[in-house]
Amino acid sequence: MHPKQSVTKQSWKPGNMLSPVPAVLVSCGGTKEWKPNLITIAWVGTVCTNPPMLSISVRPERYSYGIIKQTGEFVVNIPAVGQTEATDWCGVVSGREHDKFKKTGLTPAPALKVSCPVVLECPVNIECRVTQTLELGSHVMFIAEVVAVQASSELIDAKGKLCLEKAGLIAFVHGEYFALGRYLGHFGFSVRKHKSKPAAASKTRKPHERKKRNP
């Protein structure tokens, strides 16, 4: 676990260097007042396990900001490789000028608990209700409780386990999109006995067959 070669560093200006992060399609609207809209969000994070909560940070000038602020609801749709172009496009044009569902061909499908639609093509849809709003500066953070989740049936195995690693998820790294790569280990593998090398272990058991735990 210690670096073998000498490492040199350069001072970098303070900024948002956290990587990789997800780039998600957030759906909102779908009420009498607001047509359904999509906004791409990279400033998204899990903030609590119980109750399940997440946050999204949105600039007030976004069309979606007013919708989420007023309705208090949104859905985080996790895109897969097949939705990369749509994810980027929804992040460079505004719902003020475009019907993003129509233009991308993404399908709005009913949510279980909130008024806004979920994106059918995305493997996971996380339905959220805002509980707190934090004005931070450039962005306003919506902290929300997860009230329902939908997951593609094809990702659920015979034992009822959600095999998200099969979904072909994408990661956003310093302005670029990547497909997720090689399996390296599972939660806690470093302290498990009799399992010395994760690379060797991965040959014998597929990632989705391993038991996972949350932080």
Ligand X SMILES: Cc1cc2nc3c(=O)[nH]c(=O)nc-3n(C[C@H](O)[C@H](O)[C@H](O)COP(=O)(O)O)c2cc1C
Binder among 29, 30, 36, 40 for ligand X (CB under 6 A): 40
Binding ligand X (rule: CB under 6 A), the pick from 1, 7, 17, 92 is: 92
The set of residues, in sequence order, having a beta carbon less than 8 Å from that of 73 and lying 6+ positions away, is 28, 114, 115, 116, 127, 128, 129, 130
Closest by Cα among 123, 125, 145, 146 to 38: 125
Size of interface with ligand X, in residues (CB under 6 A): 21
Measured distance CA(172)–CA(79) in Å, rounded: 11
Distance CA 60, CA 114 (A): 22
Say whether 67 sits in a helix, a strand or coil.
helix
Which of 64, 104, 115, 150 touches ligand X by CB under 6 A?
A: 64
**152 lines the binding site for ligand X (CB under 6 A):** no
CB closer to ligand X, 35 vs 166: 35
Among 36, 95, 117, 123, binds ligand X (CB under 6 A): 95
Inter-residue contact 68 to 142 (CB < 8 Å): yes
83 binds ligand X (CB under 6 A): no
Distance from the first to the final alpha carbon of the chain:
21
Complete DSSP assignment for 3-36: -SS--------SS----SB--EEEEE--SSSS--
Per rule CB under 6 A, is residue 106 in the interface with ligand X? no
**Residue 74 C-beta: closest distance to ligand X, Å:** 11
What is the smallest separation between the CB atom of 13 and ligand X, expressed in angstroms?
A: 20
Q: Does 143 bind ligand X (CB under 6 A)?
A: no
Closest residue to ligand X: CB criterion: 91
Instruction: Find the part of the chain contacting ligand X (CB under 6 A) among 10-18, 34-42, 72-80, 161-169.
Output: 34-42
Asked whether the bond before 20 is cis by omega within 30 degrees of 0, the reply is yes
Which residue ranges make up the site for ligand X (CB under 6 A)? 23, 37, 39-43, 57-59, 62-64, 88, 91-96, 172
